[in-house]
Amino acid sequence: MASSHSNVHSEAAKMEQIITEFHTKSLHIILESRSPYVSSRNFSGEQILSSPSSSCSSSSSVRPRDKWFNLALRECPAALENLDLWRQSNLEPMVIDVILVQRPVNWDTVNVSPKRELVRNLSSKGRYPFCWGFDQEEIGCEGKSEKIVERWVVKYESRKVRDCSSGSRRSSNNTLSNVYKKSILLLRSLYATVRILPAYKIFRDLNSSGQICTFSLAHRVSSFVEPFTRKEEAEFQRFGFTPVDTSCGRLCISVLYRSSLSDVNSEPSTPITPQVIPDYVGSPLADPLKRLPSFPISHGSPSSLPFSRRHSWSYDHYKASPPSVSFSPSPTYSEPLVSISSPRSRCYPPMSLPPHPPETSLVHKKDTGFDEYCPSPNFTPSASPSPPIYIPGGHLSKGLLRTESAPFSIPAAKLSSNKQNLFPSSPIKIARSGTSKTEKSLGPIQNGATIEKLLSLGKDDSRRYSGVKLSGNSSPQISFSRSSSRSFQDDFDDEFPCPFDVEDIVPNSRLESFDQKGLLSDPHDPGGFFPIRKSQDAAVGALVCMLKKAPPLRQDLSSTTNLSEVSRPESWSNNILEPRRISEVPSGQNAPSLSVLSSSLLSSKTTADALEELQSYKEMKNLLLSQGGRSHASANYPSPAEPSSRGSNA
Amino acid sequence: MNCEVCHLKELEVEHFEIREVLRCILHTIVFHRALGLVRPKDIDLELFEITYVQCGDVEVEKKIDEKIEQFISWVEKHPNKKSQICLSFYEVKNKQQSWFTNKIERLYWEQWYVNLNVIQLPKAHSSKSHHSKVVVDPGESTSEERSIRRAALEASLRDVLFQIIKFVNEKKDHVPPISEGVVYFPYEITLPSSSDSAFGMDMIKRMLQTGHPTMLS
C-alpha cells in the first residue's frame, strides 16, 4: 500500500513535470518560429552539416531540456525570458499572442531596426512591460500599428478531483509513457503547424531580409487576455490540436490565426537612399577630427574614398597633420558596420556608409576651405604654388580669371623681375578666388605674422627689409595682404579683408621716383611704411636717401619729430595715403652722418612711434574689419589684441 | 492492432514538381513518426513558399530520395497516369519460421497513400493526360496559367500537410510504444508497380495486406 502510494505520488509528480515541460516546450516551439533572429532552423541545419555525428545519436550534445519530448531545439532567448517570467502554475493557461507591428512607410529615421521583439508579460503578477528594442525608440513607437495575427493557447484542463481518483487513470491510455508519447506527437505536429501558418512567412521574411522592414513581429505571453470580440474572431480561423488526456485532465493547444495576411507588405522597403546634406557646414580645416553628422545610411560600400579625399585635402594644407588624423572619423563609421550587420538574419538597415553625402559635403567644404586657403607659415614655397588635389575646377579658373583681370596683376609683373620666388603671389591669388570666406584658423596666425612683420618694419627700416627678405612662408602673406588690399581698393567683392592692406602700386612708382630723384615727392607715399613690394635694393636705397636728407637730429628736434611722423604708419588708414607727412620732410637739409641719423631714427622709433604705429594698425584693422563685415558676413577676424602672441605663433 | 490508413488528397503536379512535393510530404510524415530524439531540420521549398520539417536523419533522407528517384523514373515510363506512393510503418515481429517462408513478419500499423497526378504540359511532349480533365492546348503553357496552377498546387500541398497533421493528432493510440534508442519507426515506401494496371494492382495488394503481413517489394 505504501509502495503504491509512493508510486502514485511519484507518478503524480512526474505527471506534473510532464505538464510543466509541455508548457515550456510548446512556448519554445512557438516563439522560436515567431521571434525573428532566433530559430532552430539555422541551428539544426548547420548542425547537421557541420557535426559529424548524426542528430539522432548526438544525444550527448543535447542539453537536458532538449531531451524533453525528444525534440532538440536551439535556444530561444525569447522563450527563455518568458519562461523566467512565466512562473505560473500549470492550472493557468498560457496565452501567446503573436503581434504584427507595422511602422509607417514614411519613416525617415536612421539606425532603426528591431533588435528584438517586445516581450511584455501582462500576467497578474504585474510585471513591467519591456520596450521595443529600437535604437530610436521614440520614433519607432510613433505611428506603429499592432495587430494580433495569432493567438496560441496552451493549457492544462484538469478534471474534477473525483474523476481523477477513479480507475480511469490506470487505463493504458493514461499511463505516463502513453501520455508522454502522445505529448511527443502533439508537439511534433505543433512544430510542423507553426511553419505552415501564414505568420511563418512574415517571420521568415524578417529573418532573411537584410533590408529595412516596415513591419515586425512581436509576441506577448500572458495568462489572461481579453477575448476577441465576435467581429474580431470572425477574422480568425481556429485550429485545435487533439488534447492529450492525462490522469487528471488533458493538455490542450489551440490557435486562432488570421488566414490571410495580405495587407502586410512582405516586400521589404527599399533601402533608404543616401541623402545629400545641402547645407552642411563644417570645414575640415577647422576641425579635421570632427565626426561627420549621422548620415542616412543605406546599402553601399564603405566610403573610403571621401575620407581619402579629405585626407589628401587636409594633408595638403596641414603638413603637420598626419594622415591618420583625417581618417579618424572613419572608424566610427565602421563600428556600426561591424556590430550591426553581423547577425545574419537580422532585419537591420545596412549600416554602410553612403558614398555620396560625404563626398558632397566634403566637396562643399573644399569649396569653402579652398577659398579660405591661406598658406600656413610652414608652407614651403614649393608647396604653396601647388593647389590642393581636389580643387574645384571652376574655382580655379575663376581665381585665375580674377587674378588676370585684377589691376594688381601689375605688381605681380613687377615682382616677377625681382625675386619672384619670394613672392609667389599667383597661388595666393588663386587661393583668394571664389568666395572670400576667410580661413579662421590661419587668419589670425597670418595676421599675427603680418602684424609682427609690420611692427618690425615700423621699428627698424633695416629690419623691415630684412623682414621683407623673408622666407617663402611669410612673404606670401605680405604679398597676399597687399594684393588683397589692392583688390579691396578696387572694390572687388571677393576681398580677403586684410587689416594690413597698404597701397602698393603707387609706392612702387614712388620708390622708383624716390630712387631717381631722391625725394619723396610722391604724395601717395605712405611715408613711414615703405612699400615692401619693392625689391630690397630699392628699398634700401630709398632709406638711405631718406636718411641722407633728413635733418640733423641734434639741431632740430622738430625735424626729428617730423621724421617720426613720417614713419608713422597713418598711411595705413583706409586706402588713402597722406602725403603731408612725406611733404613735410624738409628737403635740402644737411643730413648728419648717416650713422648718427639712423641711430636717432632708430631711437625715435623704438617706443612712441611703435606704439603709434600699433594704434594706427588697430584702427586700420578695425576699419577694414567693419568693411569686411559688411561685404562678407563670414569674415571674422579676431582682434589682434595680442599681436605679440600672434606674432609668436607665426 | 489495426492499421490506420490515410489517403491524402490528390495533387496534380508537373514532372519537375514531383521531387519537391514528394519530399515535402514524405518527410513530414516521417517526422511525425520519428519519435526518438531528433533535431528537426527546416527545409524551404524552392518552388513553393512552404517550409517542411525533416527529422534530420541522414538515412531517412537518403532512403526517401532514392524512392523519389525511382518514382520519377517510373513516371517517365508511364506518363500521364495517376500514381500512388505508399508509406507504411510497421512493427517487426519475429515469426516462427514456417515451411514456406523465413521472413520476418511485419505488422503494419499505419499506411499513408500519396496520390499524385502527374501531368505533362504540351511543351516537349505531345501526349495528353487522359486522366486529366484539363484540355491540353497551347494556351495552358503560358506563364500565367502556370503560375495559377502553381498557386493552386501550393494551396493543395498546404492542405495535404494539414491533413497529415490532423491525422497525426486524431490517431495516436495505434502508435506503438517508443523503443529506447530508436529514432523512427521502421517504414517502407512502396512505389507503383511497373504493370500497366497499377491502380488495380495496388488495390489487390491492399486487400492482401490487411491481416496478412507480406513482404512487398
pLDDT tens digits along B3-47: 899 999 999 998 899 999 999 999 999 999 999 889 999 999 998
Interchain CB contact of A459 with B (< 8 Å): no
What are the Cα distances from residue A371, in Å, to A399, A471, A483, A493, A505?
A: 9, 23, 15, 13, 25
Name the 3-class secondary structure at A150: strand
Distance from CA of B62 to the nearest CA of A (A): 13
Contact A240, A253 (CB under 8 A): yes
Chain A partners within 8 Å of B173 (Cβ) = 173
Q: How far apart are CA A633 and CA A6, in angstroms?
A: 94
Are B40 and A182 inside 8 Å of each other by CB? no
Cβ-defined contact of A41 to B42 (cutoff 8 Å) = yes
The tens digit of pLDDT for each residue in A76-99 reads 777 777 776 665 677 788 899 999
SS (H, E, C) A221-290: EECCCCCCCHHHHHCEEEEECCCEECCCEEEEEEEEEECCCCCCCCCCCCCCCCCCCCCCCCCCCCCCCC
Quote the DSSP letter at residue A518: S
> How far apart, in whole angstroms, are the C-alpha atoms of residue A647 and residue A625?
19
Do A497 and A446 touch, CB atoms closer than 8 A? no
Question: Coil, helix or strand for A101?
Answer: strand
Q: Do B177 and A177 touch (CB under 8 A)?
A: yes
Q: Do B51 and A195 touch (CB under 8 A)?
A: yes
Residue A450 near residue A464, CB atoms below 8 Å: no
Q: CA dist A48 to A190, A501, B77, Å? A: 22, 81, 35
| Cβ within 8 Å, pair A70-B36 | yes
At residue A129, the pLDDT reads: 40
Check: CB of residue B11 under 8 Å from CB of residue B160.
yes
What φ, ψ does residue A280 adopt, rounded to 5°? -70, 125
Interface residue A266 vs chain B (CB under 8 A): no
Helix axes A442-459, A461-468, angle to 10 degrees: 140
B99 pLDDT band (50/70/90 cuts)?
low
- Is the distance from CB of A303 to CB of A376 less than 8 angstroms? no
Return the exposure string of A351-370: e unless at least 16 CB atoms fall within 10 Å of the residue's CB, then b.
bbbbbbbbbbbbebbbbbbb
Q: Which of B55, B58, B161 sits opposite A196 (nearest CB)?
A: B161
Residue A481: HSE in the Cβ half-sphere, 13 Å Cα cutoff: 26
Cβ atoms A579, A525 nearer than 8 A: yes
Query: Which residues, given as ranges, of chain A have pLDDT below 70?
Result: 1-4, 38-65, 84-88, 105-142, 161-174, 210-211, 262-275, 282-534, 554-605, 632-650
Report the phi/psi class of residue A341: left, alpha or beta, with left for phi > 0 and alpha for psi in -120 to 50.
alpha
Say how many Å lie between the first and final Cα of chain B, rounded. 23
Tens of pLDDT, residues A224-282: 888 888 888 888 999 999 999 988 889 999 999 988 876 655 555 555 556 677 777 76
Cβ distance B37 to A72 less than 8 Å, yes or no, reads yes
CB contact under 8 A, A185 and B175: yes
Q: Which long-range contacts (CB under 8 A, 24 or more apart) does A383-386 make?
A: A383/A316, A383/A319, A384/A424, A384/A427, A384/A428, A384/A472, A384/A476, A385/A424, A385/A426, A385/A427, A386/A316, A386/A427
pLDDT number for residue B167: 94
Taking only the tens place, the pLDDT of each residue in B152-203 is 999 999 999 999 999 999 998 888 888 888 888 889 998 877 554 545 555 6
CA distance A340 to B66: 43
**CA of A188, closest CA in chain B: separation in Å?**
6
Nearest to A191 by CA among A39, A346, A368, A382: A39
Q: Which pLDDT does position B77 carry in this prediction?
A: 87
Q: How many CB atoms lie within 10 A of CB A257?
A: 21
pTM: 0.51
A72 contacts in B (CB within 8 Å)? Answer: 37-40
